């Protein structure tokens, strides 16, 4: 896969002249690809035939674009997240409201082996309380969450694997004012934390052995004993295993996710 040529948009943003292929072999195995800004992947019915048309419409299914059939589903109407029409220009997003216990779930877990690289395009509704964006099942629990004070953390079955990073209390650039792409890579010992394609830091996991294989099952809720719900909009998810993405691969994947979502690119790309 060649690095795409870069073109300058009229508004100052940068656009790949050829779209980065999310399923390219050199990126590893694409286990899950959710693109909520593609309205054809959003359905308000179990048959995946009806698209949301109004902000507040309940989302029954978000279809997986990886080819693996890992659609995210919520059969219980009271727990369904809602569509946000024209969330990003003319493109939609999906809103998870903590107080309404909204989440989506896979029928079968997506197993992601070490090493892995994961991307999350999202915007928080609140900077307070703990908000779990993604997790595994109750017995093989993986939780990607944000706690009070803008601290990012990941853990497994309530055992801290990293916590932003722990007692150091490093604040991450979490914001409620706009969408960001948060990328995590893990090689079996060290996590890398990347915001909008710019590495924040690398640090060792406190429970590396437990991360030899991770099950992703849920979007918007933690699946172990705490059942912590998310509070914010999620617009895209990509999960890869078998590969730690290089800095250039991460930057071009971030470019591609922004491009597909119709968003302006991050500052390092000369877009803001």
pLDDT in tens, the chain (272 residues): 444 555 544 445 555 555 578 888 889 999 999 999 999 999 999 999 999 999 999 999 999 999 999 999 999 999 999 999 999 889 999 999 988 999 999 877 787 778 889 899 988 886 656 678 888 766 655 677 776 544 556 655 555 555 444 333 344 555 667 888 888 887 777 777 787 777 665 655 554 434 445 677 899 988 766 678 888 999 999 999 888 898 888 888 888 898 888 887 665 554 43
**What distance in Å separates the CA atoms of residue 27 and residue 23, rounded to the nearest whole number?**
7
Q: Is the dihedral of CA 243, 62, 71, 142 positive or negative?
A: positive
Angle at alpha carbon of residue 53, lines to 16 and 109, rounded to 5°: 65
pLDDT of residue 173: 53
169-207: b (≥16 Cβ within 10 Å) or e: ebebebeeeebbbbbbbbbeeebbbbbbbeebeebebee
Query: For residue 214, what are the β-bridge partners?
Result: 112
DSSP for 187-251 reads -SSEEEEEETTEEEEEEE-S-GGGGGEEEEEEESB--STT-PBP-EEEEEEEEEES-PPPHHHHH
């Amino acid at each position: 896969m060649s690095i795409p040529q870069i073109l300058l948009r009229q508004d100052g943003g940068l656009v790949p002249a050829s779209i980065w292929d999310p399923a390219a072999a050199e990126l590893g195995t694409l286990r899950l690809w959710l693109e909520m800004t593609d309205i054809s992947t959003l359905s308000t019915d179990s048959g995946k035939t009806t698209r949301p048309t109004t902000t507040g419409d309940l989302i029954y299914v978000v279809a997986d674009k990886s080819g693996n059939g890992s659609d995210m589903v919520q059969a219980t109407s009271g727990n369904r997240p809602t569509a946000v029409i024209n969330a990003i220009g003319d493109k939609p997003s999906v809103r998870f409201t903590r107080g309404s216990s909204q989440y989506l779930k896979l029928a079968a877990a997506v197993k992601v082996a070490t090493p892995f690289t994961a991307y999350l395009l999202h915007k928080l509704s609140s900077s307070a309380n703990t908000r779990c964006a993604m997790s595994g099942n109750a017995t093989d629990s993986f939780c990607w969450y944000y706690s009070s004070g803008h601290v990012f953390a990941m853990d497994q079955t309530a055992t801290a694997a990293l916590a932003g990073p722990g007692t150091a209390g490093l604040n991450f650039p979490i914001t409620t004012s706009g969408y960001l792409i948060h990328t995590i890579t893990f090689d079996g010992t060290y996590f890398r934390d990347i915001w909008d394609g710019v590495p924040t830091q690398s640090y060792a996991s406190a429970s590396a052995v437990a991360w030899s294989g991770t099950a992703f099952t849920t979007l918007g809720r933690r699946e172990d004993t705490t059942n912590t719900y998310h509070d914010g909009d999620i617009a895209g998810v990509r999960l890869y295993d078998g590969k730690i993405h290089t800095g250039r691969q991460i930057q071009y994947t971030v470019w591609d996710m922004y491009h597909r979502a119709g968003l302006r690119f991050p500052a390092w790309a000369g877009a803001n």
